[in-house]
Structure 1
Amino acid sequence: MKVACAVLLLALTSSSLGAPRGNLQQRWEEWQMKHGRRYISQGEEEGRRRAWQVNQDLVKAHNNRVDVGFSLEMNQFADGMLSGRQHLKHSPVVDISHDNDLPSAPPASFDWRTKGVISPVSNQGELGDPVAIVAEECVASFQAIKKGEVPKLSSPEIQDCCPMPVGEVFDCIHNFGGLCSESTYPVLTGHCRNNSCQPEVQIQGGKAVPAGQVDQMVDALLERPLAAFIDASKASFEMYTSGIYSDADCSKTVVDHGVQVVGYGEEGGQEFWICKNSWGASWGEDGYIRIKKGSDTCGIESHASYPY
Structure 2
Amino acid sequence: MRFAVFLASVLAVATAKTDFLEYSANMIQHINSMDTTWKAGPNFVGETLESVIARLGVKYPLPVDKKLPLYFHEDVSDIPMTFDARMKWPQCTTIPLIRDQAACGSCWAFGAVESMSDRECIHNMVQVNISAEELNDCCMECGDGCGGGYPNEAWSFWKTNGLVTGGLYKSKSGCQPYTIPSCDHHEPGHLKPCGAEVPTPKCMKTCIPGYSVAFDKDRHYGGSVYTISSNVMQIQKEIMTNGPVEADFTVYADFPTYRSGVYQHNSGGFLGGHAVKILGWGVEGGVDYWLVANSWNPTWGANGYFKIKRGVDECGIEDDINAGIPKKM
Q: TM-score range by the shorter chain?
A: 0.7 to 0.9
Equivalent AA in structure 2 for residue 207 of structure 1: Y
| Equivalent of 2:83 in 98, 101, 110 | 110
Contact 1:162–1:173 (8 Å) recurs in 2: no
Question: 1:154, 1:213 → 2: CA distance?
Answer: 30
Residue aligning to 1:143? 120
Match of 2:274 among 257, 281, 302: 257
Change (3 A) 1:220 1:91: farther
Inter-partner Cα distance in structure 1 for 2:227 and 2:256: 26
The 1:58–1:131 alpha-carbon spacing in structure 2 relative to 1, beyond 3 Å, is: same
In structure 2, the partner of 1:205 is: 224
Output aligned runs, 1:222-233, within 5 Å: 222-223=240-241, 224-232=243-251
Give 1:47 shift: 4.7
Matches within 5 A, 1:176-195: 176-182=161-167, 183-185=174-176, 189-191=201-203, 193=205
User: Does the Cα contact within 8 Å between 2:129 and 2:166 map onto a contact in 1?
Assistant: yes
Q: Distance in 2 between matches of 1:57 and 1:126?
A: 25
Distance (whole Å) between structure 1 residues aligned to residue 18 and residue 287 of structure 2 = 36
Residue of 39, 50, 55 corresponding to 1:71: 39
Asked if 1:161 corresponds to 2:138, the answer is: yes
The one of 41, 49, 52 equivalent to 1:82 is: 52
Residue 266 of structure 1 aligns with which residue?
Answer: 283
- The 8 Å contact of residues 181 and 200 in structure 1, kept in 2 or not, is answered as no
In the alignment, the residues of structure 2 paired with residue 249 and residue 53 of structure 1 have an alpha-carbon distance, to the nearest angstrom, of 15
1:240 aligns with 2:231: no
Return the match for 1:221 from 231, 239, 246.
239
Q: Could you give the per-residue CA deviations for residues 224-281 of structure 1, whole angstroms, max 9, x where no partner exists? A: 100001112x2211010001011167899x9621110000111222110000000011
- Counterpart of 2:295 in structure 1 is 278
For residue 140 of structure 1, report the CA deviation from its aligned partner.
Answer: 0.5
Distance 1:307 1:295, change over 3 A: same
What's the offset of the Cα at 1:284?
A: 0.8
The count of residues paired between Structure 1 and Structure 2 equals: 257
The percentage of aligned residue pairs carrying the same residue is: 22
Separation (CA, whole Å) in 2 of partners of 1:53 and 1:248: 18
Question: Which structure features the higher share of helix residues?
Answer: 1
- The unaligned stretches of length 5 or more in structure 1 are 1-43
Q: Is the Cα contact below 8 Å between 1:178 and 1:203 reproduced in 2?
A: no
Work out whether residues 209 and 303 of structure 1, in 8 Å CA contact, stay in contact via their aligned partners in 2: yes
What is the CA deviation profile of residues 82-114 of structure 1, one whole-angstrom value per residue up to 9, with x for unaligned ones?
A: 02545514243542144xx75623111100011
Does the 8 Å CA contact 1:244/1:289 hold for their aligned counterparts? yes
CA, structure 1 residues 178+266, in 2 after alignment: closer, same or farther (shift >3 Å)? same
Q: Partner amino acid for 2:176?
A: Y
Partner SS for 1:205: strand
Which stretch shows the higher mean deviation, 212-221 or 78-87? 78-87
Looking at structure 1, the residues matched to 57 and 108 of structure 2 have their Cα atoms a distance apart, in angstroms, of 12
AA aligned opposite 1:75: N
Question: CA RMSD, aligned part only?
Answer: 2.9
**How far apart, in 1, do the equivalents of 2:58 and 2:107 lie?**
11
Does the residue aligned with 2:43 lie in a helix, a strand or coil? coil
Q: What is the TM-score of this pair, normalised by structure 2? A: 0.70
Letter in 1 for 2:161: F
The 8 Å contact of residues 294 and 305 in structure 2, kept in 1 or not, is answered as yes
CA 1:236–1:205: 2 relative to 1, 3 Å: same
* Counterpart in the other structure of 2:129: 152
d(CA) in 1 for partners of 2:226 and 2:159?
12
Counterpart of 2:103, as a letter, is E
- Contact 1:121/1:281 (8 A) holds in 2: yes
Aligned-pair CA distance for 1:201? 2.5
Which structure has the higher relative contact order (CA within 8 Å, separation 6+)?
A: 2
Secondary structure of the structure 2 residue equivalent to 1:289: strand
Distance 1:63 1:251, change over 3 A: closer
